[in-house]
Structure 1
C-alpha cells in the first residue's frame, strides 16, 4: 500500500466531530482535578495531625486503673471546646491523676475537669447547684451526689445504690471497699395535715451509712444524730470515724463526734464545737491514727462579709480523738486552707490551699510542714478550685509529675465540624468564582 492509496482512504473517512468547547472542557476537567487534589490534601493534613492524638486519647480509655502515674506539678485551664468525659471522638481520657473545678469553660459555671494520668483533659458537666463529688482511690470513678458513678475510663455512668439525689459522698474507707455517705432525709417541703400540723419535716436529721463499693449494699453507721454531715474522716486502720456537722434545726449547734466504724457507738463527742474550728477534712487522721487534725482561725465567726472572712488567720491543730484536747503546738498557715486530703512522708499535711487570702479564686495543692512552710505540689492558674487527687496517689506520694497541658485535638465532633467549615466554605467560593470566570 503506497502513499497515494493511504491518501485516498483518508479522504473517504468522515471527519472527526469535536465539540466547540473542547479546550474549555479540558480546562474544566483539569481544574476539577486540582480542586479535588486540594480538598484531599486538606483532609489528609487534618487526619495526619488529629488521628494520632485522638487515637492516643482513645487508647487511654482502655488503660487499667492501676497504671503507674503521678500527680502533675501544674495544670492549666481547659479549652472552651474541650471534650467531656466519653464524648466522641476524643474518648473518655483514662484514670484521673487529678480533678479540679473551674467556671472558665463553655458552660460558664462550675465544671469539673479531670486530668488523666496520660495528661488528657476532659470536662465533667455538673447540674446547676450540684455539689462536688469524690474520686475513687484508684482514680477510675468520679462519685457524684446521689451516688452516680461516672467511669472516667469509658464515660459510662451508673448509680451505685438507691439513695436520695442530694445524699453526699463523704470519705472512703482506707482499703477503698466502702464509701461513707450522708443520707439527706429532709422532706422537699412542708405539707400540712387536716389539723394544720405539718406532716413533713424539711429539717429532718440525716443518717450516716457505709456503702459497699462492689455490691452497693448499705449499712447504717449512725441514725439521726446530726441535722446534716459536713465532714467525715475514716481512721487509717478502718476502725473509727470522725464526723462533724450541725445537730439542731436550722443547722445550729455543731458537734464533733468520733465513733466506732462498724457499730456507730460514740467514742467521744464534743457538743457546741467551737465556731472557729472544724474537722480538717477527709484525711484528718494522722497516718498513725493517734490524732485528728483540726483547722482553726482567729477572726470573724458570725455574719462575716467577704473582707472579714479573708482576714482570718488560720492554723492547723492536732487533737486527741478521745478527749478532744489540743496536744501539739498549732502550725500557722499563711493563706486560706481548704481541707486536708492526705499526708506527705507521714508528717506534712497535704491540703487544698489558696495562697492569697484576698483572692480565693485560685486554689493549689500544697504540703504544710510542721514549721509552717508551704511546698506547692500542684500549681494552678487563676480560677481553679476544689482539687481532688486519688487516695492511691496521695498515699504513695506520687507528686511532681510532668505539667499537664490540654490538647487542642481533644474535642467533640461538633468542634471539628466548626473548624473545618470555614476551609470548605473558602474552597467552595474559590470554585464558584472560577466557574463564573470561564463563562
Structure 2
C-alpha cells in the first residue's frame, strides 16, 4: 500500500514540476481548443523560453495581475506550441492587452511590446529568450518640434515579420512610424492621427503585399504606402470601424469593416451585450464601399477581425462587456475614455470563426478572467485550430513562489500537529 502511495506521489510531483504530463498532450502547431489560467509565479520567457507560440493571453486573474500586497504587475501569458505557459512581466501595467499592446509575430517566434522601465520598443525572441530594445526614433515632428518623440507601443506586424508599425508620441500628438527590425531605420507614416481612443484594435492593418497599410484616423480610414503617401480616404461615420489587424482579404482586394447595429449612446451592460456586428467592405484600390462575402452577424459589445482562415473563413474575437460597463453619449467628452475592445470595458472574449453564408463557430472559449488574446497568423491562416489543451504547470517557477508557499508552510506547521492531536484524542475517547 505504501509503495503505491509513494509511486502516486512521485507521478504527481513530476507532473507538477512540468517533467511529465501523463494526462495532457502538447498542442503542437495548432491553436489549442482550450486554456488554463497561468500561475502567479509562472516562469518568464527569459527564464525558460517556450519556443514558438500559438497565442498570447491576458486578463484580470491573480495569475495575470498578482495581488495588491506583492507581485502587482501586468503579465501576458505566452502559450508555447510545446504546451508550456510562460509569462512576460510588464511592470505596474495591469491593464496591458495581448493583441494590441503586446503583439505576437506572424510566425509565432517573437513578440513586440513597449520596453519596460525605458523608452523604446522591445522585440523578444521566444526561442532563445533574448531581447532587443529599439530606442526612441530620431524623427522631427512638426507639431512638437521642441519635444523629443518616443515610442508609445506597437500597432501591427508586417506580414513578412521584418518590420513593425508603431505609435510615436510627441507632446500630445500621436503619429505612426514604420520600424525596420533589421536596419533599425524608422520611417514616418502620414500626419497626426486623430481619435484613436475610439477603438484601439482598429488602428491599422497591413495589406498582404506589405507595401500598403490601412490606417484609422478619427472616423476615417485611409490607405497609405510605406512612404506615408495616401491613396484615398473614406469616412466611415460613428458606427463603423476598421475590422482589425487582419482586415485585408487574402488577395488584398477587400478591407473588412465592423459595422455596428445597436446602442451607440448611453449604453448600459445589457445594451452593449445586445449589439450586433456585421462585416462590410471597402475596395482596397479606391476606398469605395463594395460587396463581399456575407458572414453571419456577431452579437457582443465589440468584434475584432484577426484574419482569414484557409482563404475563406473570417476569424474574429468576440467581446462581452464587463459587469457594470456603461458607455456615455458620443457627444460627451467622457466618451473619449471609452474603448470597445479595452481591458477595463471587457468581461470576456471568445475566439470565433465565421463562414460565408454559415454560422459563427466557437474555436476557443477561455476560462473566466481571460480578457485579451492574440493568435499566430501562420496557424490562423492554415485553419489549425482545435489542438489539445495545454497544462499550465506550476513549475518551473519564479522566485515569487516562496511568498505564496511560506505562509502555507507556516500554516501547515501549526495545523498538521493540531490535526494529529485531534485524531489521537478522538481515538482515545472511542477506546474508552
The TM-score, its normalising length taken from structure 2, stands at: 0.71
Equivalent residue number for residue 168 of structure 1: 153
Equivalent pair of 1:334/1:355 in contact (CA under 8 Å): no
Q: Matches of 1:429 and 1:329 in 2, distance apart?
A: 69
Equivalent pair of 2:41/2:399 in contact (CA under 8 Å): no
For the aligned residues, what is the CA RMSD?
3.6
Equivalent pair of 1:112/1:123 in contact (CA under 8 Å): yes
- The 5-angstrom pairing of residues 191-340 of structure 1 reads 202=172, 204=173, 206-224=174-192, 226=194, 228=196, 230-246=202-218, 254-260=219-225, 262-271=226-235, 273-321=236-284, 322-328=286-292, 331-336=295-300, 337-340=302-305
Q: Matches of 1:112 and 1:370 in 2, distance apart?
A: 33
Check if 1:118 corresponds to 2:87. no
- Shift in CA distance, 158/51, structure 1 to aligned 2, threshold 3 Å: farther
C-alpha deviation, 1:346, in angstroms: 0.9
Unpaired segments of 5 or more residues in structure 2? Answer: 1-5, 22-26, 68-72, 115-119, 138-148, 326-345, 419-432
Equivalent residue number for residue 35 of structure 2: 75
- Shift in CA distance, 277/330, structure 1 to aligned 2, threshold 3 Å: farther
The TM-score, its normalising length taken from structure 1, stands at: 0.70
C-alpha deviation, 1:82, in angstroms: 2.6
Q: Matches of 1:264 and 1:329 in 2, distance apart?
A: 30
Check if 1:98 corresponds to 2:55. yes
Q: Matches of 1:144 and 1:93 in 2, distance apart?
A: 17
* Bigger Rg, which one: 1
Equivalent pair of 1:310/1:357 in contact (CA under 8 Å): no
Unpaired segments of 5 or more residues in structure 1? Answer: 1-41, 58-66, 188-201, 247-253, 431-439
Check if 1:147 corresponds to 2:110. no
Equivalent residue number for residue 14 of structure 1: none
Equivalent pair of 2:258/2:277 in contact (CA under 8 Å): yes
Q: Matches of 2:384 and 2:320 in 1, distance apart?
A: 22
For 1:197-221, what per-residue CA distance to the aligned partner results, in whole angstroms no more than 9, with x for missing partners? xxxxx3x3x3221111223221223
Equivalent pair of 1:74/1:378 in contact (CA under 8 Å): yes
- Shift in CA distance, 394/161, structure 1 to aligned 2, threshold 3 Å: farther
C-alpha deviation, 1:267, in angstroms: 1.4
- Shift in CA distance, 46/297, structure 1 to aligned 2, threshold 3 Å: same
For 1:223-262, what per-residue CA distance to the aligned partner results, in whole angstroms no more than 9, with x for missing partners? 335465851111112232111122xxxxxxx2210122x3
Q: What secondary structure sits across from 1:308 in the alignment?
A: helix
Q: Matches of 1:404 and 1:335 in 2, distance apart?
A: 29
